[in-house]
Amino acid sequence: MTTLDRYVLREWLRVLVITALGFPIVVIVIDLTDRLGAYLGRGLTKQQVALAYVYYLPETVFMVLPAAVLFATVFTIGVLGRHSELVAAKASGVSFHRLCRPLFVAAAGVVLLGIALAEVAPIATTRRLELLGEKAIRSTSARYNFVYRAEQGWVYAIRSLDIGQRQMRDLILTRAGTGTEYPTIVVAAPRAVYSDTTRIWTLKRGTQRFLGTGERELAVSFDSARMRVLRETPAALLAEPKAPEEMRYAELGRYIDALARSGTDHKKLRVKQALKLSVPFTCIIIALFGAPLAITSPRQGAAFGIAVSLATTVVFLIGIQLSQAVGAGGIIPPTLAAWVPNAIFGVAAVVLLRRART
């Protein structure tokens, strides 16, 4: 890297960090101002509320990363243009594309950061909901008469769970089907025992039924059986089932596949899953888009950069909302809908780069 590359990259990273952390802090302050009274009314301490908002950071930083990249690119290139540094670089034989290359490489690194945040955010969301009392933390040694929604479309109805004895009583495991090729399965057993050595549940003296396979119901009795789908530990069964926003990419994909096999509408969730990848990849596209945009009016000053960045951010967010609505409605495939804003900004970036004076 040349001295100019290091200078441009340093200025870009400075604005990126300020924006990526500044926007979430503003969001947190607004949200905290609105809800602090309600949180304290639940008996939460100020330390618990503060820690809960720390867990809120991964989700908010993930959503503002494209805007942060845009602000960093527009301001960095804009300052170079206003101070004639861009003209001097071109006079010394450094083209505009070459000058922006470190920013594009750094934006590609931000894509990896965004993907990592997409995996961390669901875990942080669960912890935040627990701290704020919006999701129960079960720390008892037993649970009675509850239903647990597992992966792959399975639902467990359990009369009792005893952590100390490592066993369940009167359990019914159900997976909803759609017909002969994918039948409904119901497994009932009076008792199930968990082994800490093998980490497997063993069902005792139960029956497995296949419904929707034709005119007759198929039933199989067993003295002892192990099911590969029953992988939850006793401690995990004490916890409440996860909401889609608390699931990571692969986990959400398995949940969506289970919904699809059971005939449930899953298009909206499919769009949300695709956004976990498309939003981070927007960072590199928005950098390609913002660099030539910043030199369209280099003499307009910082106010112009702020206005352009905010307007573009609003358009991008509206595009995401529209893509979710279009994908959930089935007008276009859900996965494709999540990438439509990227495609639009990508085309605009190519046009602006071709027109930029190099």
Distance CA 180, CA 164 (A): 41
Return the minimum-mean-pLDDT range out of 133-142, 306-315, 324-333, 339-348.
133-142
Distance CA 56, CA 72 (A): 23
Residue 96 pLDDT: 75
Q: Could you tell me the pTM of the whole model? A: 0.71
The DSSP bridge partners found for residue 220 are: 208
> pLDDT (tens digit, 9 = 90+) per residue, 215-233?
667 889 999 999 888 888 8
Residues 282, 227 within the same domain: no
Residues 229, 128 within the same domain: no
Tokens of 235: 């401690």
Contact 266, 325 (CB under 8 A): no
258 belongs to a structural domain:
no
Tokens of 295: 């030199």
The domain in which residue 347 lies consists of 3-134+266-355
The model's confidence at residue 11, banded by pLDDT at 50, 70 and 90, is confident
- Say yes or no to pLDDT of 169 above 80: yes
- Say yes or no to pLDDT of 139 above 60: no
Q: What is the mean pLDDT of residues 96-121?
A: 88
Residues 148, 120 within the same domain: no
- Say yes or no to pLDDT of 38 above 60: yes
94 belongs to a structural domain:
yes
Residues 16, 116 within the same domain: yes
The model's confidence at residue 303, banded by pLDDT at 50, 70 and 90, is low
Residues 56, 125 within the same domain: yes
Total structural domains in the chain? 2
Residues 88, 158 within the same domain: no
